Structure 1
Amino acid sequence: MAHPATTDLLVVGCGIAGLSAAVSALQEGRSVTLLERSDPADFGGNTRWTEAYMRMKNDSEIADDFEEAFARNSGWNLDPNLVVEAAGPSAHWPAWVRAHPFPDPELIARFADQAPPTIAWLKSFGLRFEPQPIYLLTQNTARIAAQGGGLALIERLMQEAVTLGAQVLYRTTAIDLLRDEAGAVQGVLATGPDGKRQRIAARATVLASGGYEGNPEMLTHYLGATRARHIRPVARGGYYNRGEGIRMALAAGAAPAGEYGSYHAEPVDPRSRLPEAVIFIWPYGVLLNRHGRRFIDEAEGTADATYDNVTRAIADQTDGIAWVIFDGRVDDIPQWRRSIRSDIPPLEAPTLDGLLVQLDGLDSAAATETIAAYNLACAEDQPYEPLRLDGNAAAMLAPPKSNWARRIERPPFRVFPIVSANCFTFGGLKVNTDAQVLDMDGRVIAGLYAAGETVGIYNNVYVGSTSVLRGAVFGRLAGLHAARTT
């Protein structure tokens, strides 16, 4: 059936990206309709569950390494011709550069430039941002956080949206784009709470419906069967993100961007029911797979700089699980328990043998052999400094351990299981600096915008503490541009 009226802006998704778009357009005097797959108690996707860390020195300055970090993680084996072309003015870029899946420098520069004014805008609603302790024991960049986390952000923005007159349709899922004869997007085809289809007309549409971490079919398609079956969303909000926004845009000719075969990974305790039950103590012990073997350098860098790759490596192990084994010497590390957010305590024993026999499915004989070889390789020839890279290496092992290599010998012996959780997928849509979706030739698809996880800007390793900020910045840009030009 047809929706009764044409809205100025239709926003698909009610996380930080969608709500930022909606409120920005409402403040410009436009009518807005929001679609949300969940019921009212669960709205907000992943934003509801995150602490909303942001890569900023304070609420008016981005971190010094902000743009550099994106440049380091702009993709694999980039064509030098691309780099040369992208160094010039974007008005002169050929079509293949405009539509390339890498995070282009103008897009990241706009992101960096608009982060402070976006935070100032959020503060105008009474929201607060300031430094706060992070669960990681080390930090490789500056961070602030939203007080009250992502939940505070979406609840306040939803309140503002409703006050300004937004129509919110819960338990409603967009399944396809409506387009005119020239190809301009004019709304969506959606299913409502009763499962019946309805056409919702709009002068502009913002896709802010997340990635595809909640869709096993898309995960298998893009990440491969082995990885897909071993990973799960890090929190309940991820189960609502099933990729329809990305799919319908790609079907309409949108250019893909970001690394479709990868995702932002976090190491979690599979026994815990808590959202984001992370285990970050592994740099100070050894990681063993089911075969009782080490499979990665546990301390190539600080945990906050390497956990994406480490956790994806865990997903690639047999059954997608590993165990971090450490001993009583961890008590020398100040506040080490801060790096663990599981509500389930580690298994513990007074002897290593007593610990290993508790681990169902682990080859305990091989594990004993592996730890003995590790202990022999630990030189411990430099001062142990757990809060910075200390150079204490077990270099003769394959793989080596580059820092914090200390023998596992002091009771009590402890272990946590770890699996890889999927915070969000990297693959998404290519947008320009106004968050307009581009087609495969780098041209704007009229009437279509994207923001948040639905946009692809990540490759290689996640640029930490930028995802919520990405949603707010590009959501706001989308809402303002749509309100002022349609």
Structure 2
Amino acid sequence: MYDVLVIGGGNAALCAAISARRSGASVLVLESAPKDFRGGNSRHTRNLRCMHKAPMAVLTDAYTEEEYWEDFMKVTGGMTNEPLARMAIRQSETCMQWMMQQGIRFQPSLGGTLHLSRTNAFFLGGGKALVNALYRTAESLGVEIEYGSEVRELKITDGRFTSALFSRRGFSHEVRAKALVAASGGFQANIPWLKKAWGDVAENFIIRGTPYSNGNILRLLMEQGAKTVGDPTQCHAVAIDARAPRFDGGIITRVDCVSLGIVVNKNAQRFYDEGEDFWPKRYAIWGRLVAGQPDQIGYSIIDSKAMGTFMPPVFPPVEANSIRELAGLLKLDPAALEATVNEFNGAVQPGAFDHAIMDKCATAGLTPPKTNWARRIDKPPFYAYPLRPGITFTYLGVAVNESAKVIMQDDKPSKNIYAAGEIMAGNILGKGYLAGIGMTIGTIFGRIAGEEAARYVKA
């Protein structure tokens, strides 16, 4: 019998396990992935978004609660649980210090991400280093960890968890605990579930993160009477390189040059304003936009002026000396792509181009317009990146309260079930995404879930 059982192995799960253990509880972590692939999507992360009133550590200037909230409202359109969202924003001010106490180190923003130096703290060594630090700390505190352990059944009666059945190395085991923390991610790696929500277009989706986020724990909680929040079609969906692997390609497959050129579909037609806002505030809309195009494919087109001004992805661009040649390599209609580029070039208005600010270099008389960073595509060589929808995590999840307790169908909190991370992020993220906020949600609610679970078992 353990005090606290944590299901999951990423940032939220480890934050919960560490917090519960530091609060005096015995803790077991069940991670479905093998040890070499532990950490869920946290392995691929780079940073978290932090409120701060003054410069601190690697963060510059200040990023107030109200500015954070305004940025958040722009991407979610108000589709959020405001008390939970504001709580996460306020408590994000403590994230860096707490993480450093767990052995995590930070670094200044890298070239190509300098505009995030005020809002986002970057992990030294990236997500893998973050995960390794959290596991080292958890193990040093006496947290027990079982890898390759997939939970098959949860025993819950009248909102009270008693035990879980899990399989490991072909054998079934039952573990009893006084409290449960579910931190096992969304259902994004479950293609049949995605197809139920999206239809057959989901066959063309690429899953950026772990293949182990199959939604099993979410499904089990739903079957046992947990209340859900979120739309199953809402998710963190990014335009990534169409040549990426089906699973686990991570952040290096993201294509960050969308705002520096134009994006066309398979008919060589533009379909959205590429300059609507800074990339960290708008990159997560492009997965859904590409998903809405024929065959769920798009192409980011730039010229040589843009090269070197964005974080390069892992795959090299398709390169050609003319737009017509580029179209041929992409198997697009050459005349149609030439016409689209010529129409765009003719609509670009004079201005002082500066990709570091909202420069208002825009088009005129063009539909859709480009409202910032509009610059003629006219200097060879020309480059293109093929794009597919890259799903990071889904927003359908379990409802929670400010103590991270799972809410049941009768709108009452469960007695001893808590949730953290992607499995409950839909409480805060009704739609859209803000760079780094997923890690913020996981860290804050992981800490809360662990502390509250320990408090419950010690009461």
Q: TM-score, normalised by structure 1?
A: 0.85
- Is 1:375 matched with 2:345? yes
Which letter does structure 2 place at the counterpart of 1:119? M
- Cα 1:462–1:417 shift into 2, 3 Å: same
Aligned to 2:286: 310
Shift of 1:476: 1.1
Shift of 1:385: 2.4
> Cα deviation per residue 1:207-248 (whole Å; 9 max; x = unaligned)?
00001111012212233332x22222213x2x1101112111
- Cα 1:109–1:327 shift into 2, 3 Å: closer
Aligned to 2:195: 220
- Cα 1:390–1:164 shift into 2, 3 Å: closer
- The answer to whether the 8 A contact 1:118-1:476 is kept is no
Shift of 1:138: 4.6
- Is 1:211 matched with 2:180? no
Which letter does structure 1 place at the counterpart of 2:233? G
- The answer to whether the 8 A contact 2:206-2:244 is kept is no
Separation of aligned partners in 2, 1:135 and 1:174: 41
Worse-matched range after superposition: 291-300 or 394-403: 394-403
- Cα 1:311–1:449 shift into 2, 3 Å: same
> Cα deviation per residue 1:56-100 (whole Å; 9 max; x = unaligned)?
444697654223344445567xxxxxxxxxxxxxxxxxxxxxxxx
- Cα 1:256–1:74 shift into 2, 3 Å: farther
- Cα 1:301–1:183 shift into 2, 3 Å: closer
Shift of 1:484: 1.2
Aligned to 2:206: 232
- Is 1:189 matched with 2:165? yes
- Is 1:319 matched with 2:295? yes
Shift of 1:140: 9.8
Output aligned runs, 1:60-459, within 5 Å.
Answer: 63-64=64-65, 65-73=67-75, 103-133=80-110, 135-136=112-113, 138-139=115-116, 142-180=119-157, 182-194=158-170, 196-226=171-201, 228-235=202-209, 237=210, 239-272=211-244, 275-276=250-251, 277-330=253-306, 335-336=308-309, 338-342=310-314, 344-360=315-331, 362-378=332-348, 380-455=349-424, 456=426, 457-459=428-430
- Cα 1:140–1:252 shift into 2, 3 Å: farther
- The answer to whether the 8 A contact 1:62-1:112 is kept is no
Separation of aligned partners in 1, 2:456 and 2:250: 40
Separation of aligned partners in 2, 1:348 and 1:158: 43
- The answer to whether the 8 A contact 1:213-1:232 is kept is no
**After the TM superposition, which parts of structure 1 deviate over 6 Å for at least 4 consecutive aligned residues?**
none
- The answer to whether the 8 A contact 1:322-1:418 is kept is yes
- Is 1:20 matched with 2:21? no
- The answer to whether the 8 A contact 1:296-1:310 is kept is no
Aligned to 1:94: none
Q: TM-score, normalised by structure 2?
A: 0.90
- Cα 1:203–1:75 shift into 2, 3 Å: farther
Aligned to 1:86: none
- Cα 1:386–1:23 shift into 2, 3 Å: closer
Aligned to 2:29: 34
Separation of aligned partners in 1, 2:164 and 2:272: 46
Shift of 1:16: 0.7
- The answer to whether the 8 A contact 1:53-1:465 is kept is yes
- The answer to whether the 8 A contact 1:27-1:164 is kept is yes
Shift of 1:289: 0.9
- Cα 1:294–1:109 shift into 2, 3 Å: closer
Structure 1 residue runs without a partner (length 5+): 1-5, 77-101
2:50 to 30, 40, 55: 55
> Cα deviation per residue 1:319-371 (whole Å; 9 max; x = unaligned)?
2211112223325xxx41x33222x32222222222221113x2222212222
Separation of aligned partners in 1, 2:415 and 2:138: 25
Structure 2 residue runs without a partner (length 5+): none
Shift of 1:375: 2.0
Shift of 1:160: 2.3
Shift of 1:270: 2.4
Shift of 1:258: 3.2
Separation of aligned partners in 1, 2:103 and 2:302: 44
